[in-house]
Amino acid sequence: MKILRQLSALQHRQGYVDDDSLREMSRRLNVPLYRLEGLVSFYTHFRRSAPPRHTVTVCRDVICSMFGADALCERIQTVADAGSVAVEEVSCLGRCDSPPVVAVNDVPLPAHDQVFALIDGSGSLPENAPTDSPRTWLCDPYSSANEHYATAIQLCQSPDELAEACLGRLSESNLRGMGGAGFPTGRKWQMVASQPTHPKYVICNADESEPGTFKDRVILEELPHLMIEGMVLAGLVVGAEQGIVYLRHEYDRERQAVSRALDDARARGVLGDNAAGSGRPFDIEVFISPGGYILGEETALLEALEDRRGEPRNKPPYPGSHGLWGRPTLINNVETFALAASIVCRGPDWWHEQGHEEFSGLKFVCISGDIERPGVYEIPHGTPVLELIRLAGGMRDGLPLKAFLPGGASSNFLTAGHADTPLDFDAMQRAGSMLGTGAVIVIAEGRELFPLATNLVRFFRNESCGKCVPCRVGTEKAVGLLEQVRLGASPPRDLDVLDELGETLEQTSICGLGQVALNPILSMLRHFPDEVPH
């Protein structure tokens, strides 16, 4: 039925979803009105009333809070005319390399003076178009756009050898999923390929929404052809005819880049009824998420694609056998598909040569916080954190390193003494944290860690879908307790209950959000107990 697509189209046309339009849609689609109301109330992007001339959104999460988001939001509110400008604090906008992040009418503004110029009427919204000069990346095997998709086209000249070539090279490379879980990519493709049920689907999870994580955003804008080629190869290998890029709605610039690349792939015959000359159909569509961090969880994403509230499913069964519409579904993130295409083209030997010392491969990492040049870097897998910090220009203003999160908001804090740890799944686990999404958040001496850890826990509280009681209630209790201690209304010893609460959430929450929600504060208390307010 594509209900969510129609709701999103309605909001795009008129700026909000009104009661009359919902009733008309209910009659037209023969869908109960309560079901439409349930969708609109769940997804954060839908508005129920007409928006003002400008809606200013200010990120409130950890990186932006470190760089004055609260003060900036107050400044904007003091000059904003309530009748024509709405000012809202929102969760991470995926641009942690330029904090504090502000967007006006969903267009991110690199300079804050542009916000005030828009408010007083002296400025206009800048063009929100993809870059015309993408950087050169080591993983891209193509020296020019004319060469794009050559790997898929060449392999499809011998369709019978396609699956063996792809699965063999991915397995030999030991590529692991780069969305956080680190599951072996070749094994995942093989599992879906072996399923006898049809139809099958290939989904690219491009809904990165965790504070500190923005590497897929850059790949989407600068290397969309590699992601598409990876999806095409995956689709032909597993036996799917339909691919879907599930993209967060804040990434409109990236949506444009992907749409252009998809049009180009269709024009070349890489997508369509005879995909890459394979004699089999495969095409890709883009689905724009109606909002919410929880949609990055693969089964919540599937629920959204099936026009339901994006609440995670109990597992098993897993998407590989029972995914979209109950059919076998391969889900990888943007980086995984892009690197898979590179490996299939160049081979596992090349891949092994790219790593740092005894490690294999390349890794996209995003680094933010107290460093001179925050951004996305393509590094040899296994590069130590300290070397990444040097690559990013070193610590801001030459300050000493105090702590870091190696894998985004859901990973554990590590101390400066862990800065020689390689950026690798197993190495980070041995150090007491995780590589996660490859999002390194750097904190310098002089920062207070307790409010930063509280901010992270508050993010997970805000983004909980509320489906399971442990996560819904536990995160609320944790944030309340942290606030009480911060204000001096509760003694620090009350924080002792967080260990038991964290264990309960880890063991009983349906999905990863609840399982990791207290990681930041528990690891901060373990490594930096003196940071608790007294």
Structural domain spans, the chain: 3-42, 54-120, 148-349, 363-444, 449-531
SS3 state at 462: helix
Q: For residue 124, how many C-alpha atoms fall within 13 Å in the half-sphere facing its CB?
A: 3
Could you tell me which CATH number the domain at 148-349 has? 3.40.50.11540
pLDDT of 300 above 80: yes
Residue 420's pLDDT band, with cuts at 50, 70 and 90, is very high
Angle between helices 334-346 and 224-238 (to 10 degrees): 80
Distances (CA, A) of 214 to 219, 259, 300, 407: 9, 19, 20, 12
Do the beta carbons of residue 208 and residue 333 sit within 8 Å?
yes
Q: What average pLDDT does this structure show over 273-299? A: 96
Local structure of 375: helix, strand or coil: strand
> pTM, whole model, 2 decimals?
0.96
Q: Which two tokens stand for residue 226?
A: 């590699």
User: What average pLDDT does the segment 140-167 reach?
Assistant: 94
| Residue 367 backbone dihedrals phi, psi, to 5 degrees | -130, 135
pLDDT bucket at 1, cuts 50 / 70 / 90: low
pLDDT 10s digits, 182-232 = 899 999 999 999 999 999 999 999 999 999 999 999 999 999 999 999 999
β strands within 84-160, DSSP E: 85-90, 102-104, 107-109
pLDDT cut 70: percent of the chain above it: 100
Q: For the segment 234-278, what is each residue's pLDDT rounded down to a tens digit? A: 999 999 999 999 999 999 999 999 999 999 999 999 999 999 999
Look at the alpha carbons of 264, 265, 266, 269 in this order and tell me if their dihedral is positive or negative: positive
Does domain 54-120 correspond to CATH entry 3.30.360.10? Answer: no
Q: Are the CB atoms for 433 and 427 separated by under 8 Å?
A: no
Mean pLDDT of 297-302: 96
Cross-strand pairs, 54: 85
Helix (H) or strand (E) holding 16: none
pLDDT at residue 74 is higher than 90: yes
Coil/strand/helix, residue 102: strand
Neighbours of 527 (CB within 10 A): 17
Q: Which residue has the tokens 């995160």?
A: 475
> For position 495, what pLDDT does the model report?
96
Annotate 180-202 with DSSP letters as a single string.
Answer: TT--BHHHHHHHHHT---S--EE
d(CA 377, CA 9): 35
C-alpha span between 140 and 223 (Å, rounded): 8
Angle formed at CA 344 by CA 341 and CA 349, multiple of 5 degrees: 125
Nearest in space to 231 (alpha carbons), one of 211, 203, 191, 197: 203
C-alpha to C-alpha distance for 181 and 192, rounded to whole angstroms: 17
Distances (CA, A) of 452 to 47, 211, 424, 448, 531: 30, 12, 25, 7, 11
Q: Residue 82: what pLDDT?
A: 76
Output the six-digit token pair for 154.
């060449």
Task: Please give the angle made by the CA atoms of 321, 324 and 327, to the nearest 5 degrees.
Answer: 40
The dotted CATH code for 363-444 is 3.10.20.600
What gap in Å lies between CA 361 and CA 355, rounded to an integer?
A: 4
At what angle are helices 215-222 and 224-238 packed, to 10 degrees?
A: 90
- Higher-pLDDT residue of 298, 121: 298
* Mean pLDDT for the stretch of residues 70-88: 91
The domain 449-531: what is its CATH number? 1.20.1440.230
Residue 441 has a pLDDT of 98
**Which residues, other chains included, contact 407 with Cβ-Cβ below 8 Å and sequence gap of 6+?**
180, 428, 433, 434, 435, 436, 437, 438, 439, 440
Place 179 in a pLDDT band, splitting at 50, 70 and 90. Answer: confident
Q: Give the pLDDT of residue 110.
A: 84
pLDDT in tens, 135-146: 999 999 999 999
In which band, very low, low, confident or very high, does the pLDDT at 158 lie, cut at 50, 70 and 90?
A: confident
* Whether 226 contacts 145, CB under 8 Å: no
Please give the backbone phi and psi of residue 247, each rounded to the nearest 5 degrees, phi first. -115, 135
pLDDT value at 161 more than 90: no
Q: Residue 434 CB: number of other CB atoms within 10 A? A: 22
If we measure between CA atoms, which residue out of 426, 394, 419, 425 comes closest to residue 404?
Answer: 419
> Is residue 149 left, alpha or beta, with left meaning phi > 0 and alpha meaning psi from -120 to 50?
left
